[in-house]
């Protein structure tokens, strides 16, 4: 499955990010904790290469803690500052603020040497669409200041947000890369709702999710979906879920489309437990 999902506004968004990066000291790049490597946009890392970069594993409540530790270690080995956060509950907020101050320390000392007055830290919040930037900003500020929505690409235009007196954040629109050619990466991005729903087949993504659960989280199939996978194929498991839940078409035929739709919603909301994809 090759995904082409690069709406016209993203060309403008990339240009804006490239122009505004010079206004900040630090780049905060949000990644989905369930598949941080699959949702890394190398364009953003290239744009921010001359800034301190903090990688934030967002939605950490939805991922396996063991996998998060592994992901964080790998990113640290690449030379990034890394932290994990659940923007809905606020868990990890204080650790992030501490990391931001640590990233700015060198710049603060430089300003002091030059006899400049202390000023607020300026950071840009970056990431692919629907990575949770608006919820993240609302969490940091402690009130609803950014529009949030389930559709990728809700954020528009330049938006500065003040966190306390010493940190200012510049929000940016989510930015994808033009073409996702790796099939598994495309399936993961679709599963995480990062690309628009017109870019993929829910049936294909639903089957992929079941294959992940069957291979890596068989107990989830039992506990959350009441299934005994055995040697059954994905199509058989889908049909079994449909029958168990009464998702039937005329003549008792399993409604696989509806089943896939509900299954993806449950995964995205964390109803299937903590699942890591990378």
Q: Give the torsion through C-alpha atoms of 206, 210, 211, 212, to 10 deg.
A: 100
- Is pLDDT of 276 > 90? yes
Confidence of residue 117 (pLDDT cuts 50, 70, 90): confident
| Mean pLDDT, range 1-25, rounded to an integer | 79
Q: What is the pLDDT of residues 206-260, one digit of tens each?
A: 999 999 999 999 999 999 998 887 778 889 999 999 999 999 999 999 999 999 9
* Mean pLDDT of all residues in 22-39: 96
pTM of the model: 0.88
d(CA 259, CA 252): 14
pLDDT category, 261, cuts 50, 70, 90?
A: very high
For residue 4, what pLDDT band results from cuts at 50, 70 and 90? low
12: left (phi over 0), alpha (psi -120 to 50) or beta: alpha
- The b-or-e profile of 34-73 (16+ CB within 10 A means b, else e) is bbbebbbbebbbebbeebbbbbbbbbbbbbbeebbeebbe
Does residue 10 surpass a pLDDT of 90? no
Pairing type for strands 26-32 and 121-126 reads parallel
Contacts of 88 (CB under 8 A, 6+ apart): 61, 135, 139
pLDDT of residue 6 exceeding 70: no
> Predicted confidence band at 34 (pLDDT cuts at 50, 70, 90)?
very high
| pLDDT of amino acid 155 | 44
Using the 8-state DSSP alphabet, how is residue 171 labeled? E
Mean pLDDT across the stretch 123-151? 78
Helix (H) / strand (E) element for 122: namely: strand 121-126
Is the pLDDT at 152 greater than 50? The verdict is no
With bands split at pLDDT 50, 70 and 90, how would you rate the model's confidence at 26? very high
Write down the pLDDT at residue 231.
78
| pLDDT surpassing 70 at residue 59 | yes
């Amino acid at each position: 499955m090759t995904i082409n999902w690069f709406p016209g506004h993203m060309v403008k968004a990339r240009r804006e990010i490239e122009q505004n990066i010079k206004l900040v000291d630090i780049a905060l790049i949000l990644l989905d904790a369930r598949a941080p490597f699959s949702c890394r946009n190398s364009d953003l890392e290239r744009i921010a290469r001359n800034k301190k970069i903090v990688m934030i594993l967002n939605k950490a409540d939805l991922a396996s803690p063991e996998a998060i530790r592994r992901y964080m270690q790998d990113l640290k080995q690449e030379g990034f500052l890394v932290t994990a956060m659940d923007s809905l509950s606020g868990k990890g907020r204080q650790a992030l603020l501490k990391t931001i101050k640590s990233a700015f320390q060198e710049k603060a000392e430089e300003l002091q040497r030059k006899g400049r007055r202390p000023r607020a830290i300026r950071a840009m919040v970056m990431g692919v669409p629907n990575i949770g930037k608006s919820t993240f900003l609302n969490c940091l500020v402690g009130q609803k200041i950014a529009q949030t929505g389930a559709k990728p690409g809700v954020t528009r235009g330049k938006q500065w947000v003040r966190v306390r007196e010493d940190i200012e954040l510049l929000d940016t629109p989510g930015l994808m890369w033009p073409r996702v050619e790796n099939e598994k990466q495309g399936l993961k991005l679709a599963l995480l709702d990062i690309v628009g729903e017109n870019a993929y087949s829910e049936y294909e993504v639903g089957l992929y999710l079941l294959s992940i659960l069957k291979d890596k989280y068989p107990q989830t199939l039992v506990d959350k979906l009441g299934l005994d996978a055995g040697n059954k194929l994905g199509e058989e498991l889908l049909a079994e879920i449909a029958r168990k839940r009464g998702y039937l078409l005329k003549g008792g035929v399993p409604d696989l489309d509806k089943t896939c739709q509900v299954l993806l919603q449950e995964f995205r909301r964390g109803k299937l437990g903590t699942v890591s994809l990378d």
